[in-house]
Amino acid sequence: MEAAGVATAAFQSVDKPGFFMVRSASDLADEQKNSADVQKWRSYASDAAAAFTIALLRSGPIPVLERKTNIVAIQGQSDYKRDFLELPQKPIGIPDYKLSELGLNEQSRRNISELLGQISKNECCAFIGAELSKPAGYPTWFEFLEILKTETEYWSGITIDDEHLDNYERAEEYRNKLGIENYRNIIQREFDPDNNKQPWLSVHRDLVSMPFASWVTTNYDCILENAIRAIDGDPVYSFTPNHPITKLRNRQIFHIHGIIDHSNLFETQDSIILTRTDFDRAYTPESNLVKLITCLYTELTIFFVGFNVRDPFLMRILKISFSDLGKTQQFVSERGIGLIKNKKHYALLPYHKKISADDLYDRRTYHEENDIDATNFEDEELKLMGVRTIRYTSDMYNHTQLINIIHNYLYLPIRAKENPTSYDLTFRGE
């Protein structure tokens, strides 16, 4: 089963890496599979497979990648050495045949080229949603609501009928029924990095290694912080309502809906924005959060990744930003003073799919057809709010294509454009 998952990921990857499986059998997959006599052979079989794999690699059938040691500067610290895989030294650009494999049309190609330019000039902020934390084992917002509902029914002993409530009101009801201590404990458990979670994935390392001005996220986890530490950086983060708006270009992480930092639970455990009351308080017109979002929208190019258009957070943020931009434009027009900034923003989004109810249970049919009409309608709506889309053909049950685009068509071209011996990973937070 595990090997099938790896093989599927390799097959769906743009670069199509080779896949070779080594297995050692310890049972006959019969009724004796879990007997004591059979189980004692498990460790022996595992050792045999591992020993064969090591011997195979040492025999030299797979060439070893050359590594190059680069110097990376971090402000306030002495220079340190870090190993990087040697990257191809080529002009910034993306092969058309690679783009076509991911379903990127001509407009998406132009948009991704424009986005690359903004990232390279340190004029872009990465705005990261839950779809990038899901592969590391964390629940999405909707999945977490279902976890809260299950826990609430367990603790209260009743079946909850909440179809008449919106998602924010559902969260409010669950918290009220659970009580604050149970509510806190569930959040801390589900976002505990030691609870079957990956500390970070390669896609997070790619995102924090690129020259973004800052990273903004609606996620509660510490994956971005862990990824920065993995490249020997010193992460600085803030959470609502204490965001330093003047530091949007300081390569900081802004957790706009809170964070669960298990090394600092005393300060972060009550930072989570999840319920109706939480959102109403955080998104008042004069709040620190709304000012932060408005400033982001007008001062930097935003790269939305890990969202879909049905994500309530994405649309809420865009509507707030677009509304405030309209007010600013009206003020400037009436007074004849100031400068109107119309920044382009970009969103990496999957195509809509034409699927039936049966398709949801059959992985083989899910990829068959993109819904171009629905996608185009959505793109026009987003364009009115200043957002250009980069559309790709998605996979339903993992995020291989999304991760491939970030690595191959954002991270690698930017790394290749920079001088490898002076690539700047400076973290300017205090």
Q: How would you write the pLDDT of the chain (430 residues) with one tens digit per residue?
A: 677 777 766 665 545 577 778 888 878 777 777 787 777 787 778 878 887 887 777 666 665 544 433 333 333 333 333 333 333 333 334 444 454 555 577 888 888 888 888 888 888 999 998 888 988 899 988 899 999 999 999 988 888 888 888 888 999 999 999 999 999 999 999 999 988 899 998 889 999 999 999 999 999 999 999 999 998 889 999 998 889 988 999 999 999 999 999 999 888 989 999 999 999 898 888 888 888 888 888 889 999 998 766 666 666 666 666 665 555 545 445 555 555 556 889 998 887 665 544 444 444 444 445 666 777 888 888 887 788 988 887 665 556 777 778 887 788 777 776 544 433 433 333 3
Angle separating helix axes 312-335 and 288-299, nearest 10 degrees: 70
Closest CA to 198 of 234, 237, 219, 224: 224
- At residue 66, the pLDDT reads 45
* Token pair for 146: 């279902």
| Phi, psi torsion values for 119, nearest 5 degrees | -65, -45
Amino acid at 374: A
Amino acid at 25: A
Amino acid at 401: Q
* Burial call 295-329: b when 16+ CB within 10 Å, e when fewer: bbbbbbbbbbbbbbbebebbeebbebbeebbeeee
- At residue 81, the pLDDT reads 33
How far apart CA 244 and CA 253 sit, in angstroms, is: 11
What domains are defined for the chain? Answer: 2-58 (no CATH), 73-138+194-422 (3.40.50.1220), 141-190 (no CATH)
CA distances from 106 to 33, 97, 111, 348, 364 (A): 54, 12, 9, 14, 27
How far apart CA 259 and CA 270 sit, in angstroms, is: 9
Coil, strand or helix at 381: helix
The position carrying tokens 């007008």 is 298
How far apart CA 414 and CA 116 sit, in angstroms, is: 7
Burial (CB count within 10 angstroms: exposed 0-12, middle 13-18, buried 19+), residue 259: buried
- At residue 64, the pLDDT reads 52
**Residues near 398 by beta carbon (within 8 Å), at least 6 away in sequence:** 8, 9, 12, 135
What does pTM read for this prediction? Answer: 0.69
**Residues near 45 by beta carbon (within 8 Å), at least 6 away in sequence:** 24, 25, 26
Q: Which contiguous run of DSSP H or E holds residue 208?
A: helix 202-209
Closest CA to 387 of 20, 165, 127: 127
- Bridge partners (DSSP) listed for residue 68: 84
- At residue 192, the pLDDT reads 92
- At residue 327, the pLDDT reads 52
How far apart CA 392 and CA 101 sit, in angstroms, is: 9
CB atoms within 10 A of CB 354: 13
Q: How far is CA 231 from the centre of its chain?
A: 18
Burial (CB count within 10 angstroms: exposed 0-12, middle 13-18, buried 19+), residue 45: middle
Coil, strand or helix at 422: helix
